[in-house]
Amino acid sequence: MTANQTGRDAVESYLNQGLRGVWAPICKSVQVKAGAPFGTKIAGENLVLWRDADGKVRCVEDFCPHRGAKLSLGEVQNGNVACRYHGVTVNGEGTIVRVPAMPECALEGRRPLKSFEATECAGAVFVYLPSADQPEAPEFRPPEEFVSDEWQAFACMTHWDCSYRVSLDNAADPMHASYLHADSFTLAYGSKQDTMRLERTDTGFTIERVNQRGVNFDWTDVVVDPGMVYFRLDIPYPDGAGPGGPFRIIGFAVAIDENTHYSFFWRCRKVQGLAAESWRFLYRAFLEDRHWHVLEQDRVMLESIPADARKREMLYQHDIGVSRLRQMMVRKAKEHLKAEAAQLEQQSA
Ligand code: FES
Ligand SMILES: [Fe+2]
């Protein structure tokens, strides 16, 4: 095996575990209830989340520093999380604040757990997953649709049994809609042949069909910076879907481990006031089922792709978005791994 292959393998296995150096949505806000810890797994790390005395979400490794039981099986006490096994209590910085079974225990005050920055936005909890080259969380800069008064955005989260990377590839490939979703309510229109065009943006790139716009899912805006990776796309709505123009999706694909991930989709529409109310009603009553039908088509197709398909796949012109996204991720991974290697070298010197 050549040094190059070793390098490529290291980058691939690093990326397969999940993106680092990014803010990622990891659950819905409602899943972190007051008074009860919530356990999850993201990018291979078991995490526990809870709300402190001010209601702020805190996040540390889901591992009791005493003998390793899951803190998420415990309870929230005075804004900290207490292990159910022997009561050892940890705060949001990962510091042991109490060992109730042993007076003046020397473990108190030690900080054995990693903690993660967490914030809430548009109905979800986002956590910063540090990388070696960016251990501190950068400014949290969500998509404008999440914070603008002009937009309604509501979150949906689903679990798919395939790599998050396959989901990101799928989003960078608008052409699949004319085939995979051809029987659907909104994605049945337009031509089945085209050429794709890619344009750089300040935060990533746009991939679009050359000869069709506003007819089907015809373009994707892929954002790889700053500190977040997500995609934005529009699905044209027919007149019956009320005011507000197209249905916009903001999507994130977040690794659980190398074979499973959470797909987050924010359903967005540019509507305010009464129109916003009627859109929410219409969505819940009629449109949501149809959207799930489309998402299920994606899920079944993506889960059918073998984990090692990349070794045999044969890309063509329509995959320029997929290729560009992969290049950008590989570039980031190389920077992270280089910083990691430099740190290890420094530690061993
Ligand atoms: S394992 Fe958690 S307190 Fe003992
Ligand atoms: Fe799709």
pLDDT digits (tens, 9 = 90+) for 148-164: 999 999 899 999 999 99
293 and 194 assigned to the same domain: yes
148 and 76 assigned to the same domain: no
Does ligand 1 come within 6 angstroms of the Cβ of 8? no
242 and 320 assigned to the same domain: yes
82 and 113 assigned to the same domain: yes
Q: What is the CATH number of the domain that holds 41?
A: 2.102.10.10
79 and 197 assigned to the same domain: no
Tokens for 172?
Answer: 């960078």
Report yes or no on whether pTM surpasses 0.75: yes
- Ion ligand 2 neighbours, Cβ < 5 Å: 298
Tokens for 330?
Answer: 């590989």
262 Cα–ligand 1 center, Å: 30
42 and 83 assigned to the same domain: yes
Q: Which amino acid, one-letter code, is at 140?
A: F
Does ligand 1 come within 6 angstroms of the Cβ of 33? no
Q: What is the pLDDT of residue 236?
A: 84
165 and 264 assigned to the same domain: yes
Q: What is the pLDDT of residue 1?
A: 45
- Banded pLDDT at 313 (limits 50, 70, 90): very high
Give the helix ranges, DSSP H, for the chain. 3-17, 144-147, 164-171, 177-180, 273-282, 288-303, 320-348
Tokens for 72?
Answer: 């998420």
169 and 296 assigned to the same domain: yes
Q: By residue range, what is the domain housing residue 80?
A: 28-129
What ligand 1 atom has the least distance to the C-alpha of 87? 3
Atom 1, ligand 1: residue with shortest CA distance: 67
Asked if residue 11 is part of any domain, the answer here is no
Where does a domain end: 94, 129, 164?
Answer: 129
Q: What is the pLDDT of residue 244?
A: 78
- Position 267 pLDDT exceeds 50: yes
188 and 292 assigned to the same domain: yes
Asked if residue 347 is part of any domain, the answer here is no
105 Cα–ligand 1 center, Å: 14
206 and 322 assigned to the same domain: yes
173 Cα–ligand 2 center, Å: 9
Tokens for 249?
Answer: 């999706």
Does ligand 1 come within 6 angstroms of the Cβ of 299? no
Atom 4, ligand 1: residue with shortest CA distance: 86
123 and 197 assigned to the same domain: no
Dump pLDDT digits (tens) for 19-68: 999 999 999 999 999 999 999 999 999 999 999 999 999 999 999 999 99
Q: What is the CATH number of the domain that holds 234?
A: 3.90.380.10
Please give the average per-residue pLDDT across 84-108, as a whole number. 97
Dump pLDDT digits (tens) for 166-204: 999 999 999 999 999 988 766 777 788 889 999 999 999
Atom 3, ligand 1: residue with shortest CA distance: 86
Average pLDDT of the residues of the chain: 93
- Between 213 and 145, residue with greater pLDDT: 145
User: How far from 28 is each of 68, 148, 294, 338, CA to CA, in Å?
Assistant: 26, 20, 22, 34
Q: What percent of the chain has pLDDT over 70?
A: 97
Asked if residue 179 is part of any domain, the answer here is yes
Q: What is the pLDDT of residue 172?
A: 97
Number of domains in the chain: 2
